Amino acid sequence: MTDPQLSIRNLCVDYITDAGDVRAVNNVSFDIGKGEVFGLAGESGCGKSTVAMSLMRLHKPPAFISGGEVLFNGEDIMKYSDEHMSRFRWKEVSMVFQSAMNALNPVLTMEEQFCDVIMRHTNMTREQAVRRAEGLLEIVDIHASRLRDFPHQFSGGMRQRLVIAIALALNPKMIIMDEPTTALDVVVQREILQKIHALKEEFGFSILFITHDLSLMVEFTDRIGIMYAGQLIEVAPAKEILKNPYHPYTEGLASSFPPLTGPKTRLTGIPGNPLNLLEIPQGCRFQARCGKAKDSCFNVANTLTQVESNRFTNCHLFTNK
């Protein structure tokens, strides 16, 4: 990849809890290229949303970024002032939050909600902002006249498209989508993802796409990173990752999802439970659930390692082969 748009280096994020300091994101590094769709997958609680929030520096106590760099077009946004950061959000990187469609303000019309974002971040007059909002509605296939409606007057799928339209308002270079379609039924999910894909082709932004639905993800991303217990454990092209996984955890995920096409096979899944981050074992974090674990897995310090031009894994059984 030439010239990544985003480079995350050794990102660490901690939560201070009554039970102790929990490192929810541990030494995570990856790049997203210009115009690329990068997927982040893994079981609930593995740290996906915590990574996403870091890219906008949206953490509030008890969470804090305890280390690492987030380079956007080569600049470390960790060094930006708060004021610089608030100009950066929406304009450079915008975000569609988990269950955002339920976070639209129920007592304000969509016009108010669009104009609020647009006028806060640009010099547009009210009239210009309304024109822009009407244009955005049409981009997501909603008639401009609906701008005067309230959120409850739209279907779930339309509300999700409205949220995406707000994220597009300032022509950002990257959009983070955290479980953007989880609350929707399968048919509507697919329609929305197709729409997002078409918009990406038209406007050229890159996407960080988060979901726990891997079969959906392989269809809509270029590359995928898999997280386990706060660590990135594998990165590979979407086309290859489920067919030829290099990490036993990815292998387990691959056998937990039904293929979209081809013969039906029995799903096996992954035995055991996700790791408690307060009880991190020595060695590989996946050892207790791994069918391939050897003695060496219990004291290895495994780091994500490049094993081919476009493949990374942290499984030392693989990297030391």
Ligand X SMILES: Nc1ncnc2c1ncn2[C@@H]1O[C@H](COP(=O)(O)OP(=O)(O)O)[C@@H](O)[C@H]1O
Question: Residues in the site for ligand X, rule: CB under 6 A?
Answer: 15, 17, 22, 24, 42, 44-50, 62, 277
Residue 128 CB, nearest distance to Mg ion (Å)? 36
Name the residue number minimizing CB distance to Mg ion. 49
Tell me: does residue 54 bind Mg ion (CB under 5 A).
no
Residue 307 CB, nearest distance to ligand X (Å)? 25
CA neighbours within 13 Å on the CB side: how many for 49? 13
Tell me: does residue 49 bind Mg ion (CB under 5 A).
yes
Query: What Rg value do the Cα atoms of the chain yield, rounded?
Result: 20
Give the Cα separation of 247 and 313 in Å (integer).
Answer: 6
What are the residues whose beta carbons fall under 8 Å from the beta carbon of 261, sequence distance 6 or more? none
| Token reading at 310 | 């476009």
**Inter-CA distances, 93 with 37, 54, 55, 77, 226, Å:** 14, 12, 8, 11, 22
261 binds, among ligand X, Mg ion, none (CB under 5 to 8 A by kind): none
Residue 241 CB, nearest distance to ligand X (Å)? 18
183 binds, among ligand X, Mg ion, none (CB under 5 to 8 A by kind): none
Beta-carbon neighbour count of residue 316 at 10 Å?
18
The sign of the dihedral angle between the CA atoms of 221, 251, 258, 230 is: negative
Residue 170 CB, nearest distance to ligand X (Å)? 25
Residue 10 CB, nearest distance to ligand X (Å)? 17
For residues 140 and 175, which CB has a smaller minimum distance to ligand X in the complex? 175
Q: At what angle do helices 156-167 and 126-139 cross, to 10 degrees?
A: 130
Give the Cα separation of 40 and 236 in Å (integer).
Answer: 11
Tell me: does residue 50 bind Mg ion (CB under 5 A).
no
Considering only residues 75 through 134, tell me which ones interact with Mg ion, judged by CB under 5 A. Answer: none
For residues 26 and 189, which CB has a smaller minimum distance to ligand X in the complex? 26
- Give me the residues that bind Mg ion (CB under 5 A), please: 49
